[in-house]
């Protein structure tokens, strides 16, 4: 298995761990200095620097939705330059609102660990409205 395939497998494991709230596994996949970028104008938008800050962002997704937030992985795209794109569908419920939006995350790797992740939403307006 080449490095691109290993990185793609890390992302598959990461999505499974995220949806299971398996922080132990996620800790093995993210560099301690990883950065997570969430776009938009909502209260959860911004750059989250450091693994603990990234995991705090993940916790917000779960806690603000009563544990209903899910990211269903649809596709994994990889290249030989250390980049993997995960395409998924987000769903959640919050304050009487329902989230149904597609997203892709561009993941960058170094030494077999995620060092940067940038979310891109197909409908950023719907994403922001959900968190408002």
What is the residue range of 104's domain? 3-131
Return d(Cα 56, Cα 122) in angstroms, integer.
Answer: 24
87 CB contacts (<8 Å, ≥6 apart)? 73, 74, 75, 76, 77, 102, 103, 104
Return d(Cα 14, Cα 111) in angstroms, integer.
Answer: 16
Return d(Cα 79, Cα 85) in angstroms, integer.
Answer: 9
CATH number for position 113:
3.10.450.50
Q: What is the pLDDT of residues 1-49, one digit of tens each?
A: 799 999 999 999 999 999 999 999 999 999 999 999 999 999 899 999 9
Residue 57 · residue 38 · CB < 8 Å: yes
Residue 128: pLDDT band (50, 70, 90) is: very high
pLDDT at 1: 78
User: What's the domain count of the chain?
Assistant: 1
pLDDT at 125: 96
């Amino acid at each position: 298995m080449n490095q691109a395939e290993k990185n793609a497998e890390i992302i598959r494991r990461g999505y499974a761990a995220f949806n299971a709230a398996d922080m132990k596994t996620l800790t093995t996949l993210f560099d301690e200095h990883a950065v997570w970028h969430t776009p938009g104008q909502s209260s959860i938008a911004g750059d989250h620097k450091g693994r603990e800050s990234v995991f705090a962002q993940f916790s917000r997704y779960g806690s603000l939705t009563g544990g209903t937030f899910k990211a269903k992985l649809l596709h994994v795209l990889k290249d030989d330059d250390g980049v993997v794109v995960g395409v998924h569908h987000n769903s959640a419920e919050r304050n009487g609102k329902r989230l149904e939006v597609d997203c892709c995350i561009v993941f960058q790797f170094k030494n077999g660990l995620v060092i940067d992740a940038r979310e891109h939403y197909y409908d950023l307006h719907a994403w922001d409205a959900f968190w408002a």
